[in-house]
Amino acid sequence: METTHKSLIAIKLLHTLIWAVMAGATLYVLYSGCFNQITRYTWIAILLILFEGLVLLLFRWTCPLTLVARRYSDSQKDNFDIYLPNWLARYNKQIFTSIDLLGLVLVLVRVLGARG
């Protein structure tokens, strides 16, 4: 196996692992808000999501791993850099931003409602 191919596989594995952690954080925040189960892990997940948003903002809405993977592939597929179905890779930011915002709003409503 050539080095370029191995490098792209390594990037795709890392990217998929990070994606899975972030998807888990997103779903955990949503769960926390829906079921009023707000713990320190909820706040850690929110911090992870905000950090990811900052990274994407700094890199003009492109994951830095996508930029690295681009060195090893000229594929035009949306999932060239991650082990996800192409449709999910294409709409990933829209799907998870919507869920992130819903989860955050639910958590804030629960927290602010508990104080009132």
pLDDT digits (tens, 9 = 90+) for 5-50: 999 999 999 999 999 999 999 999 999 999 999 999 999 999 999 9
Higher pLDDT, 1 or 108: 108
Higher pLDDT, 1 or 34: 34
Q: What is the tens place of the pLDDT at every residue in 63-104?
A: 999 999 999 999 999 999 999 999 999 999 999 999 999 999
**Phi first, then psi: what are they for 71, rounded to 5°?**
-65, -25
Question: CA 6 to CA 72: how far, in whole Å?
Answer: 10
Tell me which residue of 58, 72, 57 sits closest to 15, measured CA to CA.
72
Question: CA 98 to CA 73: how far, in whole Å?
Answer: 30
Confidence band, pLDDT 50/70/90 cuts, at residue 116:
low
Question: Whole-prediction pTM value?
Answer: 0.93
> Is there a contact between 80 and 69 (Cβ–Cβ < 8 Å)?
yes
